[in-house]
Amino acid sequence: MLSRNRSSSLKAFLETVVSAPERHARFLNTLSFLEHLGSRKIFLSHCRSAFPGGVLEHLAEETRHASFFRKHAERIGGRALSYVSGDMLALASSRFYFARLDALVTRLVRDDRALPYYYVSLSIERRALELYGLYEEILGGVGRPLTLKGLLAEEKRHLAEMEESLLRNDPLYPEREKACSGIEGPLFERWLSAAMAKT
């Protein structure tokens, strides 16, 4: 979770984002890209396995979230968008956030090849709930016709599934969960700083 000062900065950033359609569209397209990176990570982490049904559903939902954000980005921006720097707020930082989180978490739990997927997902679902929840609150405050209620419900379910799997399968869960949170926090703050610099 963010510190109180950083949380205030995030709220101010989101209020600035939604005040200008072009900037808002680029922000939503950045969220689309992050969801796309998440779906890609899920696929790559299981492409040589049997792809359990729950993982396949998670992959489908993250891909749908990427599509959801892209659709609304294009509607708000009034033009077609793609995953290029001019259409996003923080392309390089988004890539760095995901790649570094994946690498550091994988190193932390390298004794079990199945665990990185769960810990990376756990960290990202928590962050998504914080970010999307605040964004939803701000949208409601300014009367924007966009709701994330269904998406937030799916993210909450994903988080519960990750926590349940880790509690069941990793006896080192409490210590590792804390370590993963310590890894993700600074990476998100770096991403947020980069996104804020583009507004």
Could you report the per-residue pLDDT of 95-135, keeping only the tens digit for each? 999 999 999 999 999 877 789 989 999 999 999 999 999 99
Q: What Cα–Cα distance (Å) separates residue 83 from each residue in 26, 32, 173, 185?
A: 10, 9, 35, 24
What's the distance, CA 171 to chain centroid? 26
Amino acid at residue number 136: E
Dump pLDDT digits (tens) for 66-79: 999 999 999 999 99
Q: Are 26 and 89 in contact (CB under 8 A)?
A: yes
pLDDT at 58: 87
State the average pLDDT for the chain: 91
Q: Is pTM, for the whole model, over 0.85?
A: yes
- The CATH class of the 4-197 domain is mainly alpha
Q: Are 46 and 117 in contact (CB under 8 A)?
A: yes
SS3 call for 19:
coil
Contacts of 59 (CB under 8 A, 6+ apart): 39, 42, 43, 46
DSSP 60: H
Dump pLDDT digits (tens) for 142-166: 877 789 999 999 999 999 999 999 9
